Amino acid sequence: MSTVKITPSAASLTTTIKHLASIHNTTIFTSNSTKFRAPRRGFTVSMAAFVHTPLEVCVKQSITIPNKLGDCPFTQRVLLTLEEKHLPYDMKFVDLSNKPDWFLKISPEGKVPLIKLDEKWVPDSDVITQALEEKYPDPPLTTPPEKASVGSKIFPKFVAFLKSKDSSDGTEQALLDELTAFNDYLKDNSIFSRETFINTRALKEDVIEGWRPKVMG
């Protein structure tokens, strides 16, 4: 079993301290002597706010390079949540083409992502991100209601297009419409340059190989 431990970067910790300091008014010194203003009364900075025992996360292993993160948008969603909340984590790579016995014991369905919270293995990215939000509410990552449906139709439209055998059935245009709307949204809200996205993205080669059998049939 291969694992990789990830801890919050210095930039992430500094961001967290700045966030805390922005609420208060007393001077705080970080390890690099950067000063922030924060309150004199009732203000304490607990290391528990940004230092935790690494959370164990089972992720898809790359099919092109061993012991690298594979292509799985659901896994990236979980890892992005951990990164944005500055939580250290320990990735356990799983070869989904040859699932090991230890993995099948904790995940009978053999699916990733899977995370260990309060000594229990929790599946499903929706459930995991909600659990992380409740357990570690700061910084909050709850999606605003008006943005909850952004991009939600792309995957089903893409699948319909791939399965289509009639070029005039409208599935191509439906996909293009969804991608155009999403692209317009990303122009104003792009995350591709964020360190957290870069740290959790899959290799281009894995994305291509992951979709090849779906496209080729």
33: left (phi over 0), alpha (psi -120 to 50) or beta: left
Known catalytic residue: 72?
yes
Catalytic residue among 72, 78, 112, 115: 72
Please give the positions annotated as active site: 72
